[in-house]
Structure 1
């Protein structure tokens, strides 16, 4: 069977179909992938330029960052200086007894509790932390593993003034402790008030919880009577494991 010769109209139609197919294939397999590659390359270029700018800024700020780190470390040392290290019972005894004797008060009794680990979430740390209000009553319990999350929240405050490489030192909730101390002493009321003023001005890591005054009468050896005042005081001494904040 012989094919009929193509007419001029058939040739034009075939040519048109071939051209449309060529255009479709060019757009689908050449033009669109090229545009996508160009857009991706442009996005990669912008990202690289941003990273380069960030790196340049970091390099330029290196000296400033080092100076800020030194400043932060100095602030940490200043804040840490107002805290006592982990004192023994004998050392706490010496601290309190010396305070009484230095104000002409006569020690009568003394009770020292074991240092209790506190949760940093209940205590806001700052450069002036020793002069802020003490931990709430809820903080008088030992820290358990479940307190770690609350401690992490408290660490966010520390990041405001601590160098970044020092912050991990505070991840353990046990760096902050308090020792409860109660004592009785006797003497003149003005001397006791001077002791309270001394505590407020010079002992930021010793927090006064409660005190009471009881005036009593007693007989002297010569048969005369005298009156004296007995003072009952409850303190909390803040202790810091300073070994945990060294560089």
Structure 2
């Protein structure tokens, strides 16, 4: 069978079909993948630019962060200076006796308990649950009337410092040691009130647990009988391992 020669119309139609096929193949296998690659490249570029900006901001912030760290460390050292490291019995004796003598009180007796290690979390919860109990008796109540606010303020200050700054390092993190000190002294009631005020305002690492007042009789220099007050006080001294606090 003879093949008829292609007419001009057939040639135009064949050319159109070939061009259409070329366009379809170009769009399908070249243009669409190219657009996808371009979009991915733009996304990668945006991500890289964001990462670069973040890194530059971090580098610029490094100096500020270092300054903030030094400032925080200085504040910690300032707060830390108001607390006692692990003290011996003799050092606790000197601390408490010195406090009495500074307020013209005469030491009568002193008892120092063994240091106890306890959890800081439980310790803070316990101090928040209740403050030092008030002693019984109308005379004692009169003495403690202006001590409630100052003692509570001192305890609140202690809790703030302990919770925020002082996390000592013992066998496990978050532990501290305390030692109970019980002493008796004699002297004027005004001097004893001054001692309690000083304790609440300037000794955040010493907590007043309780105190009571008793009366005793003694012979005066002229041979007559006289009486005076004995103040029985229990303190809790917080002992921190300052070496465990690092910048």
| TM-score normalized with structure 1 length | 0.68
Report deviation, 1:202. 2.4
CA gap of 1:69–1:134, structure 2 versus 1, over 3 A, is: closer
- 2:219–2:225 CA contact under 8 A, matched in 1: yes
| TM-score normalized with structure 2 length | 0.68
- Whole-angstrom distance in 2 between the partners of 1:181 and 1:15: 108
Q: In structure 1, the residue corresponding to 2:84 is in which secondary structure? A: coil
2:110 counterpart of 1:112: no
Residue 206 of structure 2: aligned partner: 206
Q: In structure 2, the residue corresponding to 1:63 is in which secondary structure? A: helix
Aligned length: 215
Q: In structure 1, the residue corresponding to 2:32 is in which secondary structure? A: helix
- Whole-angstrom distance in 1 between the partners of 2:88 and 2:57: 49
Structure with max Cα Rg: 2
Residue 132 of structure 1: which of 156, 164, 168 is its match? 156
- Whole-angstrom distance in 2 between the partners of 1:168 and 1:107: 34
Report deviation, 1:82. 0.7
2:99 counterpart of 1:99: yes
Report deviation, 1:108. 1.6
Residue 90 of structure 2: aligned partner: 90
Report deviation, 1:95. 1.0
- 1:110–1:184 CA contact under 8 A, matched in 2: no
- List alignment gaps of at least 5 residues for structure 1: 136-150
Q: Kindly report which structure 2 residues correspond to 1:166-177, keeping only aligned pairs within 5 A, or say none.
A: 172-174=173-175, 176-177=176-177
Report deviation, 1:84. 0.8
- Whole-angstrom distance in 1 between the partners of 2:192 and 2:2: 127
- List alignment gaps of at least 5 residues for structure 2: 126-152
- 2:110–2:181 CA contact under 8 A, matched in 1: no
Report deviation, 1:173. 1.1
CA offsets 1:146-194 (integer angstroms, 9 cap, x no match) = xxxxx9xx6xx55xxx9xxxx99899213x3332222222222122112
Q: Kindly report which structure 2 residues correspond to 1:55-204, keeping only aligned pairs within 5 A, or say none.
A: 55-103=55-103, 104-120=105-121, 123=124, 132-134=156-158, 172-174=173-175, 176-204=176-204
2:231 counterpart of 1:231: yes
Choose 211-220 or 190-199, whichever is displaced more: 211-220
Q: In structure 1, the residue corresponding to 2:204 is in which secondary structure? A: coil
